[in-house]
């Protein structure tokens, strides 16, 4: 067991809160362990306007942090799992995934008390193709406004830009102690989360056995199984933040159920599937879900979506 470890993290309020959470969990298992933070600014942090999917998508919040691991400046790093590409960089491994927070999306409204109470033609702040397509499928009258920035910035823009509501990952608000800002936890039938949403990924060098051993104390088998299932499904579909794809796995009584949805960019049509299996081959289960979706017509939608997405939603005036 090492005496000191350096933790690489982004500098946003949420990233720091997540890193502190992991550090506290580690300290419970190894009180003698000293953990130092190395704050790294990523490409994603430098993008203040426009869509992440247009700027390159998944990986924008991870690359520079991973470089700090690979060059030895840090021993481990903490990410939101959904920010990581499904293919790991050579030399790195996911050493731990602590217990998952609630993975659902939430609605934060300016006046209404939920999605059904929003006025006709309400303007929703989000730059996520997945969220836009699913909300448009549920309510075709909704309009969408590009929304970037950290959570505080997005909450301010709800008021300053006259938006009716914004959509966020509920886990982020919970980890920041801002649960009181949540208007509604969106039902899974309305908004299925991104693969890995709510899971923290603790990354280390694959050959650093001492650090990996220390991090294993905070690994949650249920979170890891769900992560493997969801990421395998996403990889098999070739999806990412550019695609309107939602995937969510849940473990209960020794079995894993995984649900998936793929939509046309405007939300007019969608494919949904659900498969259940054991815990011994989670990646196979994810690939089975992908096959089910493709058989239902997802291949056509994925091809249609390639290169076609912009922050301006196909339905309604932005």
Contact residues for 31 (Cβ-Cβ < 8 A; gap 6+): none
The answer to whether 152 is a known catalytic residue is no
What span, in angstroms and rounded, lies between the C-alpha atoms of 127 and 105?
A: 14
Catalytic-labelled residue, pool 83, 105, 164, 208: 83
Q: Closest Cα to residue 306, out of 255, 238, 251, 253?
A: 238
Question: Torsion angle, CA of 145/269/55/42, rounded to 10 degrees?
Answer: 80
Number of Cβ atoms within 10 Å of the Cβ of 258: 27
Helices (H) and strands (E) in the chain, counts: 10, 13
Q: Closest Cα to residue 64, out of 91, 41, 95?
A: 41
Q: Where are the alpha helices (DSSP H) in 161-208?
A: 170-175
Q: DSSP character for 268?
A: S
Query: Which two structure tokens, joined as six digits, stand for 203?
Result: 């990354």
Q: Is 23 helix (H, G, I), strand (E, B) or coil?
A: helix
Task: Report CA-CA distances (Å) from 111 to 106, 108, 159, 182.
Answer: 15, 9, 10, 12
Catalytic residues, which ones? 83
């Amino acid at each position: 067991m090492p005496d000191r470890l350096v933790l690489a993290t982004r500098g946003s309020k949420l990233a720091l809160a997540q890193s502190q959470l992991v550090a506290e969990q580690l300290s419970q298992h190894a009180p003698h362990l000293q953990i130092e933070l190395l704050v790294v600014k990523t490409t994603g942090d430098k993008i203040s306007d426009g869509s992440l999917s247009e700027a390159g998508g998944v990986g924008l919040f991870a690359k520079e942090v991973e470089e700090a691991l690979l060059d030895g400046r840090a021993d481990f790093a903490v990410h939101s799992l959904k920010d990581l590409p499904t293919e790991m960089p050579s030399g790195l491994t996911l050493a731990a995934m602590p217990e998952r927070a609630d993975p659902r999306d939430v609605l934060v409204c300016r006046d209404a008390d939920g999605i059904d109470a929003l006025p006709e033609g309400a303007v929703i702040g989000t730059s996520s193709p997945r969220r836009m397509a699913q909300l448009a499928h549920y309510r075709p009258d909704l309009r969408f406004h590009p929304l970037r920035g950290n959570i505080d910035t997005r909450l301010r823009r709800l008021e300053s830009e006259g938006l009716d509501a914004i959509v966020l990952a509920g886990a982020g608000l919970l980890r920041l102690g801002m649960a009181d800002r949540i208007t509604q936890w969106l039902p899974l039938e309305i908004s299925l989360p991104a693969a890995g949403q709510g899971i923290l990924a603790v990354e280390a060098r694959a050959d650093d056995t001492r650090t990996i051993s220390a991090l294993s104390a905070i690994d949650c088998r249920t979170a890891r199984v769900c992560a493997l299932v969801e990421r395998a499904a996403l990889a098999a579909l070739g999806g990412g933040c550019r695609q309107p794809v939602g995937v969510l796995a849940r473990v209960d009584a020794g079995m894993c159920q995984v649900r998936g949805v793929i939509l046309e960019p405007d939300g007019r049509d969608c494919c949904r599937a659900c498969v259940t299996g054991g815990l011994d081959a989670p990646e196979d289960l994810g690939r089975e879900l992908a096959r089910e979706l493709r058989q239902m017509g997802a291949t056509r939608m994925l091809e249609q979506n390639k290169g076609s997405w912009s922050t301006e939603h196909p339905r309604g005036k932005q």
